[in-house]
Amino acid sequence: MTTEFNPAPTDPEAAAEEPTTPMDAPSDGASFVVVANRLPVDRTTDDEGEVSWRTSPGGLVTALEPVMRRNGGAWVGWHGAPDEKVEAFEHDGFQVVPVPLTADEVEEYYEGFSNATLWPLYHDAVAFPEFHREWWDAYVVVNKRFAERAAEVAGEGATVWVQDYQLQLVPQMLRALRPDLKIGFFLHIPFPPVELFLQLPWRRQVLEGLLGADLVGFQTAGGAANFLRLSRNNAERKVKGDAVEMPDGRLSRARAFPISIDAQSFNDMANDPEVIKQSEALLEEIGNPEIVFLGVDRLDYTKGLRQRIRAFGELFESGQLDPSKTVFIQVATPSRERVEEYRKLRDDIDLLVGRINSHTADLGRDPIVYRHASFGRDMMAAMYRIADVMVVTPLRDGMNLVAKEYIACHDDPEGALVLSEFAGAAHELKQAYMVNPYDINGMKDTLLKAAADSPANRRRRMRALRKQVFTHTIDKWADDFLTELRGTGH
């Protein structure tokens, strides 16, 4: 199979390349702009019907807020309600710039092209990616709207940081509108091997879209290498080291910037007296088992839940794990429930857990405690605290922050992390107990080993993991990316 493709001079599908008229910078524009599918604020309405906005909890916004405040920042993103226009407003020291989406666009650009085409394709095609031309058309239209909105709010020479797979065309579109800007892009999910990426009918436009950035950031060196290889195989692109040379001489650089968490705040949360109380109550509620295994995921087919639950089912059924002494807690945040593949997954997991529990439970309690729900950060910290073994076994994952959150919450150094080789985090968290999530027997052995390993071994591993997580925080991630971006030339 050839992995080469040439940019076609004319392409009937190249809606991304309609001629664009450059725009002038606004005189009062922001000097730092984040562009992401979602805004970092949630709307709340009080009893009197008064509407206000609250910063949504999350690592990215916490890390970028100080930079935004310092630099007169703006965040461009969708506010979460279809068919509604919301005016830009000031919030917590930065400008919030809502981008409207129609209900059809949510279906085609977001649920369709982003989450049923790109998401499975970029995750090793563990579910079948669907290719629909009308979804692509919506993706182009929406990316253009985001680019135009960013071009309207960015000041002369501003830095614009575009986030993630929903907006891969924005860098090129924005550059065409505003050649004066410094443009960065970060992909939170894996960038796939060339052979997979080439399935995409709009592969050329997506690649050109990304190359509009001065710096393209990936979670792992492997992702950056896939991207550079793809660019090299495209006849018009010379690649020197980590830089792709564009026809006009501009360089677009590609490098790994592994994302992380605010480790100290998770650590503090886990040691909060209220959280400690919560964790004790939780242990009591599940019957004070000797060993607690824990899984925490968005309910997504990339997270390896089917395989993980099967492994636990076999361990309980064979008696290798004693259901009277062991509990496996699995919590799964509801996610993308309007996408067919996710509905199917939800039903499968319900069935699987029900079957295992009905076979192996004694009358007192279920060996698998499964909750399909979202929890507050305090409850998450309480769960991390009581987990003797954290089980993070995605089939493919850009990074996986849950693994890092567990480590930050576990200053009792006897906790153990079982981690998939196919999570980006595996490149940094080398002292975890590694598994191939497709190998159910191997996974079962490693789960048993992690639970039974000597305290000295568990402590040694956990100390090394904590050192990594506390020295590579989300602040460092944002600093590293923005410093590197500032150093790139036009």
List residues binding ligand ADQ (CB under 6 A). Answer: 188-189, 259, 296-298, 331, 333, 374-375, 380, 397-402, 405
Q: Which is nearer to ligand ADQ, 16 or 389 (CB)?
A: 389
Shortest CB 215 distance to ligand ADQ, Å: 17
Q: Which is nearer to ligand ADQ, 259 or 450 (CB)?
A: 259
The DSSP H or E segment spanning 370 is: strand 368-372
Would you give the distance in Å from CA 411 to the centre of its chain?
Answer: 25
58-66 contacts at long range (C-beta below 8 A, 24 or more positions apart): 59/259, 59/260, 59/261, 59/262, 59/401, 59/474, 60/36, 60/163, 60/474, 62/262, 62/265, 62/474, 63/262, 63/474, 63/475, 63/477, 63/478, 64/34, 64/40, 64/161, 64/478, 65/92, 65/93, 65/94
Shortest CB 63 distance to ligand ADQ, Å: 11
Shortest CB 471 distance to ligand ADQ, Å: 18
Shortest CB 464 distance to ligand ADQ, Å: 20
Shortest CB 225 distance to ligand ADQ, Å: 18
Q: Which is nearer to ligand ADQ, 402 or 417 (CB)?
A: 402
The string of DSSP letters for 468-486 reads: HHHHS-HHHHHHHHHHHHH
CA 474 to CA 261: how far, in whole Å?
A: 5
Within 181-301, strands assigned E span 182-186, 215-218, 238-240, 243-245, 251-256, 291-298
Planar angle of CA 56, 73, 185, nearest 5 degrees = 80
Shortest CB 213 distance to ligand ADQ, Å: 17
Q: Which is nearer to ligand ADQ, 138 or 329 (CB)?
A: 329
Would you give the distance in Å from CA 443 to the centre of its chain?
Answer: 24
Shortest CB 162 distance to ligand ADQ, Å: 14
Using an 8 Å Cβ cutoff, are 443 and 435 in contact?
yes
Q: Which is nearer to ligand ADQ, 402 or 443 (CB)?
A: 402
Q: Which is nearer to ligand ADQ, 188 or 476 (CB)?
A: 188
Q: Which is nearer to ligand ADQ, 86 or 390 (CB)?
A: 390
